[in-house]
Structure 1
Amino acid sequence: MLSLFRVVSFGVELPDDYLAAVQHAVSEAGGDIVELENFTNDRFKATILAVGYDGDTAAGLSALRAAVKPVITDTLGTAVMPAELAGPHRKMLIMDVDSTLIKQEVIELLAEHAGKHMEVAALTEAAMRGELDFAQSLHARVETLRDLPVDVTERVRETVQLSDGAAELVEAFLDAGHVVGVVSGGFSQILDPLAEDLKLHYWRANLLGTAEGALTGLVDGAVVDRAAKEASLREWAEAENIDLAQTIAIGDGANDLDMLAAAGLGVAFNAKPAVREAADAAINIPYLDVARLFAGV
């Protein structure tokens, strides 16, 4: 049987020798390049190959991804996905927030106001590498915020910056009639206004406890952890009657791994090594809207 794939190469610059190496790898793996399309904007360049493969989808994905993997560099990427992901079906994009949708880690911004930035940053890094249990790490980090005034969340919210290309990515999916959601191990006090501004369909995050005008140092309710992120993907896709094969998940840390694995395409964004290795695709340049090309949006 013939299976069709989309092979997307991208970089701030995209040298001819890199593209030639990708095409050679695809051909050597049994891929038949039937079409080539170039893309450029003011941030990055890309080349999209339409590739046929004599075999089923699983075999084709395995062969083509293995073939291009040795060609990929720290600044030049290539992703392989089934061609149907760029088809006319309604899709869902779901993203992590901290260091993915936005440039910063919100817990670290809050910790600066408590004079605990270095301590909290070290815990965050270890949790994102998967060295610490996320929920335990989160409770320890939130504890450092005890007695900060509630309005610190407003001051932090004003400093939050979207990742480059994030607004363009969200707008493109929404304009095409697709569903966009975000799920965060961060905090509703920061995420809610941002999600409303971006006109997202769904969002979920932890809630910082408050009492008498101050943070309590506790998380109210269940922690949004690795399992909750995957559950959110499945819940929202089901609610929108979207097949999981038509979902794209993007994240950077160990607590995103289950969500990335459950999605039709799991994308690591400037991620920790273990996440890059486990993901279906990796974006190693600071432009989130590269992911538009994976879905043909």
Structure 2
Amino acid sequence: MLDSSPNPCPLCGSTSADTLSHIHLSDVWRAYAEKWATSFSDDVIAKYGNGPVALRRCGRCELEWFDPALEGDSGFYSQLFTGLIRYEKWRWEFERAARRIADGARVVEVGSGEGAFLRSVLPRCSSVEALEKNPHAADLLRVAGIKVSENDVRADALARPTRADVVCAFQVLEHVADVRGFLSALAAIVVPGGEVLLSVPNRERFREGLEPNDCPPHHLSRWSPRQFTAVAEVLGMDLVLVEYQPPSLSHARAARQRPVRTALRPVTGPWMAQLAGRATARVRMPERRHARLAAEGRFAPRGEYGHTMFAVLRRRG
């Protein structure tokens, strides 16, 4: 139904939005405990509460965002990693991004963590710089010989604009409340003719059940391919390309299990339906076929996606 009083879309600023659902934070805390053995202190839970948060979809650019934007702070993140959750050291999009960087380029990465990507391109760049607010990660970057600023990217862009050939932000946008301000800062840092490289989780990927990391306080927005066109329009940049991570073998098989389980469960019961679903998925998606379809980029045209989307935008000269 149409919500009459949402906060403006954090990307395009429109106040026209549908309310898709409400996420109850009590369910998010419970899912963290059950899926990831991660528990949070009473103080952290009290800060964000247990109540509902609206999931909106913008009527103009179709971004989905949580309203209000309950952005995770250092207290939340210090406890997030006490369970089984770990950040990946290397990501699918890093190889795609590295191909865009010419020898001798000046590169700035925002939200670089411990710097796996910057370390990989450091030997062939004239300069690399990280904007990273985590003090521990910033120290590790400095030890690796990487220049680090712990300032907010908006303040940094005002103080030092137009200084990089390539600006990167991987898996950062979905954590940001001020999406438009963040993106505008990236565009200000890059030189005319330079590129902004972005990656975000794809909300159209295969999912089953509540994913607590895809909810506040961790994620504040959910992205589909359509939003990259909106980003280019908002920033006055050219959208060069969008690439899609293929689904993993397990997710490709799970997508093929689901309709079989649904059809057979009323007839055979859940146990037999699950066995039949697994057998069907193994036959329809053997490992070699999955590898071939992934290499040929044939999952995305079928509407099957892995976790991440990667986009390249170019600043007009």
Q: TM-score if structure 1 supplies the norm length?
A: 0.34
When you count strand as a share of all residues, which structure comes out higher?
Answer: 1
Q: Which has the larger radius of gyration?
A: 2
